[in-house]
Chain A
């Protein structure tokens, strides 16, 4: 570590190198910390989590009881022990606009926290005003809404892609309220939709018909291409399985942070990494990634590390894989029941995961152990004082006033 600092200081190394090395070290040391907790509000399983991109301070969670909760993740108390408080709740008794059934996806508006969008099994998608906690807009659909996504980089359009029981992917426009744009091509329910973080017109959709389509929403004709797990080699599989991304339902999609690669998970217990520009299967073998989810699976990729890591909920634990090597780095165990969703906080390299046991667990990087010299001086100062981070120590006010 000191060598990295010296190299950065003297200009031998790029500044990014130190940041990446330290981020990677922190991600590799993720574990449950008894100092960090998240308020337990949900009475039923947690289906979805989203951390806002601007500050990384507020987190949304949606549960199977239809309740949506907003948490403040920032630690303003000067103590290391901190519980992420729930600031406000869209609850059953409090709000009459609350979703009737399970909330499947929530997402902050990508450009500020004044608004968020939630979609649920009560066949609606609601656009909420964070200030008043009332829906500003409501979209009705014919079937259960499995997922929705807004493009994180779009400036020219405010389209929300919605995946429902209907094989047609619907695009709802937040500016005009219209929903006439439809993408046709799938033959089964749409379990997951994702916009590319690199181009604001590229959309990926995954469905129960084992296919993943990549669309350019500016084009009037069908999809750009379908992902084929055998890369066009028609001889490798039985004839029905030709041109499919997985040998079962495809229920999870995640782009890497630079948008160059796309990860998909399927109920054939496999996870595949694709080149998002050409649709080529990179053939990285992650082994058996247990996947029994009948709805969408929400997983995430780390940002700012080298090599990048994939965090996938696997049963009641979260599996961490190396993105390009495919090796299983570790399993994060701590939940009591199935884990449904996980979300990575890129600034602090923390992972939040929520599951059927109604808990949101925060996986925090382990701090470096203090040197032996510091421990001795601490114990001399007094046993009753808790060890305070020197950054929070008050070194200027005197005791006399």
Chain B
């Protein structure tokens, strides 16, 4: 007796295809990503940063909600092209990208700059950036020629936190005051992974992990961290009869 359910190619499942064809519409899939992003935004704790940061979501958290990574990537890129979403390179991992809704970003940055002398430059930068440009980093030539900023204006942008130094003559796009976010995030990720690792057999049911009391190291909501570690494949997801089991994957650099 073959207990494993056999994998069947799509060509042989004609009835399944007829049923699915009625449901799938390409416009809907973009709305899927947007609704997942909005769900993840609710998990972000605003109060922690005294409301100075826009809600940040990591791109790999979306992989834990959707099966097909390639289509997630494609839709995120589409949202970036239309100027609705902004992507940032966080710096602690070359593969970890942060996503922020453009309006949130704009609102928070201007709120942070209110009353400071650099407000004008920052506003000019944001108007140039948001609908048209979807780059993660800028080099000096681009800033001077395309955006027509002067050197002193670039210094002001770096001071305000919108640009971070990448290397001589080029800058990453960044979120102001995000240093604290990255620190808490890395600490929290390590603590949650430690919880999984210390469990018996290095595995724990997802529902049990969500119910555990968080230590003082974990500042974000448990679900936020769980989506992160599943999406970054730092734990293996195994479907069991009692729900999803998270098993620690050996060989993690973290």
Seen from chain A, the residues whose Cβ lies within 8 Å of a Cβ on chain B are 1, 21, 24-25, 28-29, 31, 233-239, 241, 247, 268, 283-288, 290, 292, 306, 325-327, 329-330, 366
Nearest A residue to B133 by beta-carbon distance?
A235
Q: A234-B137, A238-B167 are in contact. List 7 more A-B contacts (CB 8 A).
A: A235-B137, A241-B94, A283-B73, A283-B74, A288-B233, A325-B70, A366-B6
Q: Does B25 contact A (CB under 8 A)?
A: no
Can you list 30 A-B contacts (CB < 8 A)? Answer: A1-B12, A21-B9, A21-B11, A24-B11, A25-B9, A25-B12, A28-B8, A29-B7, A233-B135, A234-B137, A235-B136, A236-B89, A237-B89, A238-B167, A239-B166, A239-B167, A241-B94, A247-B95, A283-B73, A284-B70, A285-B70, A285-B72, A287-B63, A287-B69, A326-B69, A326-B70, A327-B67, A329-B7, A330-B7, A366-B6
Chain B residues whose C-beta falls within 8 Å of the C-beta of A237 in the assembled complex = 89, 94
B251 pairs with A285, CB closer than 8 A: no
Bound-complex Cα distance A29 to B170 (A): 52
Bound-complex Cα distance A233 to B138 (A): 11
Min CB–CB distance B193 → chain A (angstroms):
15
Q: How many A-B Cβ pairs are below 8 Å? A: 66
B233 pairs with A287, CB closer than 8 A: yes
Q: Which 5 A-B pairs have the closest CB atoms?
A: A285-B69, A288-B233, A235-B135, A235-B137, A28-B7
Chain B residues whose C-beta falls within 8 Å of the C-beta of A327 in the assembled complex = 67-68
In chain B, residues 15-38, which have Cβ atoms closer than 8 Å to a Cβ of chain A?
A: none
Nearest A residue to B67 by beta-carbon distance?
A327
B2 pairs with A25, CB closer than 8 A: no
Bound-complex Cα distance A216 to B67 (A): 39
Chain B 54-89 interface mask (CB, 8 Å, partner A; 1/0): 000000000100011110111000000000000001
Bound-complex Cα distance A325 to B72 (A): 12
Bound-complex Cα distance A304 to B251 (A): 36
Which of A288, A325, A326 has most B Cβ within 10 Å? A288
Nearest A residue to B135 by beta-carbon distance?
A235
Bound-complex Cα distance A25 to B10 (A): 9
Bound-complex Cα distance A31 to B72 (A): 31
**Number of residues from B at the complex interface, CB < 8 A:** 29
Nearest B residue to A20 by beta-carbon distance?
B11
Nearest B residue to A29 by beta-carbon distance?
B6
Min CB–CB distance B221 → chain A (angstroms):
24
A238 pairs with B166, CB closer than 8 A: yes
- Cβ-defined partner of A236 (8 Å) among B69, B137, B167, B170: B137
Bound-complex Cα distance A90 to B215 (A): 61
A283 pairs with B70, CB closer than 8 A: yes
Bound-complex Cα distance A288 to B69 (A): 11
Min CB–CB distance B159 → chain A (angstroms):
22
In chain B, residues 87-115, which have Cβ atoms closer than 8 Å to a Cβ of chain A?
A: 89, 94-95
Bound-complex Cα distance A314 to B119 (A): 52
Chain A residues whose C-beta falls within 8 Å of the C-beta of B74 in the assembled complex = 283
- Given known pairs A236-B136, A238-B167, the reply for A326 and B68 (CB within 8 Å) is yes
A247 pairs with B70, CB closer than 8 A: no
Nearest B residue to A269 by beta-carbon distance?
B233
B69 pairs with A24, CB closer than 8 A: no
Bound-complex Cα distance A283 to B94 (A): 16
Min CB–CB distance B136 → chain A (angstroms):
5
Bound-complex Cα distance A288 to B68 (A): 13
Min CB–CB distance A382 → chain B (angstroms):
23
Min CB–CB distance A89 → chain B (angstroms):
35
Chain A residues whose C-beta falls within 8 Å of the C-beta of B12 in the assembled complex = 1, 21, 25
In chain B, residues 131-182, which have Cβ atoms closer than 8 Å to a Cβ of chain A?
A: 135-139, 166-167, 170
Which of B9, B74, B139 has most A Cβ within 10 Å? B9
